[in-house]
Structures are given as structure tokens and as C-alpha cells.
Structure 1
Amino acid sequence: MQALVVNCTLKKSPETSNTEALANVVVEQLRKEDVEVDVVRAVDLDIAPGVTSEPVHDGDAWPGVHERLLESEILVIASPTWLGGPSSVAQRVLERMDAMMSETDDEGRPVAYNRVAGVVVTGNEDGAHHVINEITGGLEDIGYTIPGQAWTYWNQGPGPGPSFLDAERCHDWSRSTGRAMAANVLGVARALAARPLGPPPQ
């Protein structure tokens, strides 16, 4: 089983990412279950705006990310909350993934069928549930299966405050929810591998 985690922080490497810190809880749990996990920090890559899987310009890194998506049964999108919504990086990733809606496999299924996705959110403001809904809604449109409780989050709540790595508030809850998320996405991914969805009826 292969998983891809796309960290949509605005911070380039090697800057510390709060979103990465919480996503690592999910990564560690998946690896305990012998899942191979690949992590991409999208902001480190030249991902052009667009809604195509092909390169938009020379050096566009999206085709490589697209290839990794197709190699993975599990996808985790991790995003901070900015102005109550997903990061601009997360939005760009979803926009490029939009092209997958018209891509099919050898049996005529959308390429995202039989793949499972979940979401990790951090932020020192309110809005985590909105971010989860925005991202999972887009992933469902593309064809991913979203299990029950396929998310974890940490946020400060209304108003500015410390970030995930600057405070201990609710860390235990976020970590236990992250481990549950990992178990849920893996369980459904295994079920789909054993009994995959067929092509949509014509």
C-alpha cells in the first residue's frame, strides 16, 4: 500500500511547518501499518496555475506530482487555515487535480476511483471544519473515497494566537484523532483493494 501526503504549507523548506508536524502523526501511524509514505511540500515545487495534468510551462513540477498520485492508494492533503479557508497552495493543488476528473483507467473508471483521501488542518484561527469540507468536497468530485472521520485538525479558535508547535492545547486530541484517521483511510483503502469499484454504469 502506498500513500502520498501533500503538505500545502506556505513555508518553504527547511522552515518549520506546523502543518507538517501534525501530518507526521498520520504518517507515523501509516508507516506502523507497513504503508509506504511519500511526503511532498508543494510550495517547494514549481507548480503552475492550471487545470491540466500536462506541464503548463518548462519546469512545471505538476506532472511528477500527478504521477505520484497515480502510484498511491491513499492521499492526504495537509493545509493550514488562512482567512478561514485552505491555503492558496492547497487550492492550486486541487485545481491541477481537477484534470483527473476526465482521466480514466483501462477499465473506464475515473483514475481517482478506488483511492482514498483524508485531510489534516492546522491554524491559529478558527475555520478547520470549513477547510476540511472544502478539500474533501473537491476530492470527492475528483473521484476519491472519503471514509468517515478521515481528518484531524488543530486550531487556536477565534482570534489570533499561538501556532500548533507553540502551544500544547488539545495536542493529545489532535494526535489521537490523527491516528484514528490513519486507521480509517487505511481500512477503506484495503477494502477497496479487495473489492474495487467498477466503472460507472452507462
Structure 2
Amino acid sequence: MKALFISCTLKPSPAPSNTEALAAVVADALQERGVTVEHVRLADLDVPPGVQTDMGDGDAWPGVHERLLDAEILVVVTPTWLGRPSSIAQRMLERMDAMLSETAENGTPVAYNRVAGVVVTGNEDGAHHVISEIGGALGDIGYTVPGQAWTYWNQGPGPGAEYPETEHGHEWSHSTGRLMAHNLHAVATALAAQPVPPPQS
């Protein structure tokens, strides 16, 4: 079983990402269950705006799309900006919109029988809004979003320390992240054993 973590931080490598630091807890828990984990940071790639899988020369999205189709588990990793997902997360969802019309050989939409979850951080509130926006969009695309398939950390109201600068809230965020990994793996395993069949015309 494979998991793809797509980081939507605004920071290109090698700048550290607070949200990726929390996502590592989820990745470790999945690896403990035998899942192969791969990471992609979209800020390092040339992904132009659009709603097609391939926007032509220089577009790095087709490679990400191929990795999406090779993974049973998707984890979207995004910071919170102004109480919303990052602009890169929005662009990711817009490019994934093309998957709505893509099907496997048996006619099943390509996102079916795959699970997805969300990891969010920010030194401001808004994590639940970000989780609901991304989780709802992934459900529209065809992913199964299990219950409690998310974790987040925020400092609280107003400006303050960032995730690596404090231990505030880490215990809860980490335990929730491990539960997230458990639920993602359990539901992905169930779908592998009993997949959703192709829609009947």
C-alpha cells in the first residue's frame, strides 16, 4: 500500500515547513503499518493554474497526477492563511478537478477506492474550516474521507509562536495524527478487499 503526501506550503525547499513537521507524525504511523510513503512539495514544481491533467510543455502536474493514481492514500498538507487553505492547496484541487471525468479501465472513476485526509497548521485559527474545504472537495472528486482522518495544530487567537517553537498542543495533535493514520489505513484496507464497483449506467 502506498501513501502520497502533497505539501501545499508556500515555501520552496529547502525552507522548513511547519505543517510538514506535523505531517511526519502521520507518515511515521503509516510506515509502522507497512505503508510506503512518498512526499511532494508543490512549491518546488511548475504547476500552472487550470483544470486539466496536462496543461502542456513545462507542466509538472502530470507527474503528480501519476503519483496520485499510484497511491491508495492521499494526505493533503497545508498551512492556514487568513483562515483559509493556502493558494497552492486551492490550485491543487483545481488541477484535481480533471479527475472527475477520468475512469479506470473498468469504468470506475479514478479517485474511487482511494482514501484521503488532511493535515493543517497555523498560528491562527481556521483549521476546521480548512479541513472541511479540502475534505469536501476531495469527496466531490471521488475520494473516501474516513471519520477523523485529519489532524491540526494552531497557536490560538492572534499572532504567536509557530509549531516547532513551542510544545503547546503537540500531544493532542500527535495523538490525533496517529489516529488519522489508523483510520486511513483501516479504510484503505477495507476498500482494497471490497472495492466500490463501477457505476451502473
Which range, TM-score by smaller chain? over 0.9
Residue 24 of structure 1 is matched in structure 2 by 24
The Cα of 1:198 is off from its aligned counterpart by: 0.5
Q: Distance in 1 between matches of 2:146 and 2:56?
A: 36
% of aligned pairs identical? 67
- SS of the aligned residue for 1:38 comes to strand
User: Segments of 4+ in structure 1 off by > 2 A?
Assistant: none
Q: Distance in 1 between matches of 2:44 and 2:161?
A: 25
Q: Distance in 1 between matches of 2:130 and 2:156?
A: 14
Residue 52 of structure 2 is matched in structure 1 by 52
Residue 199 of structure 2 is matched in structure 1 by 200
The Cα of 1:62 is off from its aligned counterpart by: 0.1
Residue 131 of structure 1 is matched in structure 2 by 130
Q: Distance in 1 between matches of 2:105 and 2:135?
A: 26
Question: Alignment RMSD, CA only?
Answer: 0.7
The Cα of 1:182 is off from its aligned counterpart by: 0.3
The Cα of 1:161 is off from its aligned counterpart by: 1.1
Return 171-180 or 152-161, whichever deviates more.
Answer: 152-161
Scaled by the length of structure 1, the TM-score of the pair is 0.98
The Cα of 1:116 is off from its aligned counterpart by: 0.2
- SS of the aligned residue for 2:58 comes to coil
Contact 1:124/1:162, CA 8 A, preserved across alignment: yes
Q: Distance in 2 between matches of 1:86 and 1:63?
A: 22
Equivalence map 1:62-141=2 (5 Å): 62-141=61-140
Residue identity in the other structure for 2:88: V
Deviations along 1:110-139, one digit per CA (max 9) or x if unpaired, are 100000000000000000000000000000
The Cα of 1:180 is off from its aligned counterpart by: 0.4
Question: Where do 5+ consecutive residues of structure 2 fail to align?
Answer: none
Contact 1:48/1:57, CA 8 A, preserved across alignment: no
Residue identity in the other structure for 1:136: G
Paired residues in the alignment total: 201
The Cα of 1:32 is off from its aligned counterpart by: 0.8
Residue identity in the other structure for 1:127: G
Question: Where do 5+ consecutive residues of structure 1 fail to align?
Answer: none
Residue identity in the other structure for 2:52: T
Deviations along 1:28-58, one digit per CA (max 9) or x if unpaired, are 011111100000011100011000111x242
- SS of the aligned residue for 1:101 comes to helix
- SS of the aligned residue for 2:4 comes to strand
Residue identity in the other structure for 2:167: E
Q: Distance in 1 between matches of 2:165 and 2:56?
A: 39
Q: Distance in 2 between matches of 1:10 and 1:163?
A: 15
